[in-house]
């Protein structure tokens, strides 16, 4: 860390741990449970989690209620929506079909979905898998997502609706998340296999691996299904309805942490697809300019200090989820939540840190005036196209990244701030040139991303 100039010399005292250090290893189940108890209320929606290492389950736990109306607690059998964690199943299904010789990831998608417009561009299956196709994301269409998402549809009708969106860039030029791309992958699976997406996933993955509490969500009765909730200023409400015809291969699966552990153990060990196929899934994708995207096939690959993290987050009406795998330790941690007020990433990070013996940064709120904050307010350049702004409005400090929403910050000093319900924080220092540098620490990393004040 750079030496702090005199103006900032005492500002970081409120942040007692800037660099995570080692803590006592081999935590007990009660210590993991304490993390859940400390972060979640017993009488509210909550989480179901699992931690495994080297194939051995270290901890299964829950906190909170599966159903508020009937006061039913979450338990290990509670079934929750996965949202976009479904994408790794879709990607694995594509790899299975490739290994069966029924398709190739280098195929033009028009071999399977001839009518879907790509504006004269060659879009491959691999482009869909890696979100590098340039095909727009249908969930960015507010009119569709707000008004049509409750109405039943067919795969072909949904794709015809998505086809109305123009492409956003040339294939391979960038990575931009596209649920539409994964809906197209679902259709490709159907054409190549001769089965519906639902039947293929349930027969060739869930039944094969004995994932007995996993399924494609429909209107069937599901034993131990958890209800989904949203937190409002008036309290919790039942989440709004979504017809699962729309999320489809991008997010329509439901499961439990126990089943997810079975799943990822099989996937990473070569029991479901070849080890070479799995390595392809967890490899960064090379873009047209030679740079690499951190998104592989249905999975994100990021460094975490001396470790690698293979992960994905899911979010769908009433449910949030985050699952991660640390290959160097064969550590798997999955957190499924049944409310939009819970941050499963933060909880997952806390459990991961405890399992790895990493101490989390400790935050302490401090009252800071607008006058004291004035020198650090303004815009900071992350890259050519992206700024992060610090804004003070109505006695509240916010962070806003280009294209994103304002996010509340809690002050620890006049140059250090943390995000509520998160392990992420910002520290602002002067560099040797006298410039203000915003250092953003996220995901347990001890290496921040930096931005210069403009």
- For residue 24, the model assigns a pLDDT of 54
Confidence of residue 359 (pLDDT cuts 50, 70, 90): confident
Confidence of residue 25 (pLDDT cuts 50, 70, 90): low
Q: Where do runs of H (alpha helix) occur along 69-222?
A: 86-99, 125-129, 142-143, 155-162, 179-193, 197-201
Is pLDDT at 11 greater than 50 in this prediction? no
- For residue 147, the model assigns a pLDDT of 86
Per-residue model confidence as pLDDT tens digits over 97-134: 999 999 999 999 999 999 999 999 999 999 999 999 99
130-167 b/e (C-beta count within 10 Å ≥ 16 → b): bbbbbbbbbbebeebeeeebeeebebeebbebbbebeb
Dump the DSSP string for 291-335.
Answer: -EESB-SS-EEEEETTEEEEEEEEEETTEEEEEEEETTTTEEEEE
Give this prediction's pTM. Answer: 0.90
Average pLDDT, the chain: 93
Is pLDDT at 413 greater than 70 in this prediction? yes
Per-residue model confidence as pLDDT tens digits over 79-106: 999 999 999 999 999 999 999 999 999 9
């Amino acid at each position: 860390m750079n030496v702090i100039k005199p103006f900032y010399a005492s500002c970081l005292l409120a942040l007692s741990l800037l660099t995570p250090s080692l803590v006592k290893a081999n935590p007990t189940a009660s210590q993991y449970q304490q993390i859940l108890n400390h972060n979640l209320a017993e009488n509210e929606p909550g989480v179901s989690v699992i931690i495994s290492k080297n194939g051995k389950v270290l901890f299964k736990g829950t906190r909170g209620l599966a159903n508020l109306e009937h006061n039913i607690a979450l338990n290990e059998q509670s079934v929750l929506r996965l949202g976009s964690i479904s994408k790794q199943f879709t990607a694995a299904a594509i790899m299975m079909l490739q290994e069966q010789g029924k398709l190739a990831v280098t195929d033009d998608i028009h071999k399977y979905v001839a009518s879907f417009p790509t504006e004269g561009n060659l879009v491959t299956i691999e482009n869909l898998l890696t979100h590098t196709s340039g095909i727009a994301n249908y969930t960015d269409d507010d009119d569709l997502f707000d008004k049509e998402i409750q109405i039943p549809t067919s795969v072909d009708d949904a794709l015809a609706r998505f086809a109305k969106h123009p492409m956003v860039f040339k294939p391979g030029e960038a990575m931009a998340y596209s649920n539409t791309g994964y809906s197209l992958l679902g259709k490709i699976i159907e054409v190549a296999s001769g089965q519906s997406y639902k039947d293929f996933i349930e027969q060739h993955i869930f039944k094969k691996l004995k994932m007995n509490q996993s399924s494609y969500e429909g209107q069937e009765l599901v034993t131990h299904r958890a209800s989904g909730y949203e937190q409002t200023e008036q309290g919790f409400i039942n989440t709004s309805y979504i017809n699962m015809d729309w999320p489809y291969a991008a997010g329509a699966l439901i499961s439990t942490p126990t089943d997810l552990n079975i799943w990822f153990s099989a996937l990473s060990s070569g029991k479901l697809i070849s080890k070479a196929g799995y390595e392809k899934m967890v490899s960064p994708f090379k873009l047209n300019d030679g740079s690499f995207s951190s998104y592989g096939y249905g999975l994100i690959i990021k460094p975490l200090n001396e470790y690698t993290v293979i992960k994905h987050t899911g979010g769908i009406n009433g449910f949030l989820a985050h699952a991660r795998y640390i290959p160097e330790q064969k550590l798997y941690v999955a957190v499924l939540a049944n409310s939009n007020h819970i941050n499963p990433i933060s909880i997952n990070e806390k459990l991961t840190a405890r399992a790895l013996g990493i101490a989390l940064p400790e935050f302490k709120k401090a009252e800071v005036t607008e006058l004291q904050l004035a020198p650090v307010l303004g815009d900071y350049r992350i890259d050519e196209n992206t700024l992060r702004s610090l804004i003070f409005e109505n006695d509240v400090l916010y962070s806003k990244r280009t294209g994103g929403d304002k996010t509340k910050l809690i002050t620890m000093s006049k140059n250090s701030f943390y995000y509520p319900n998160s392990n992420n924080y910002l520290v602002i220092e002067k560099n040797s040139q006298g410039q203000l540098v915003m250092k953003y620490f996220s995901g347990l990393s001890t290496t921040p991303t930096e931005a210069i004040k403009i």
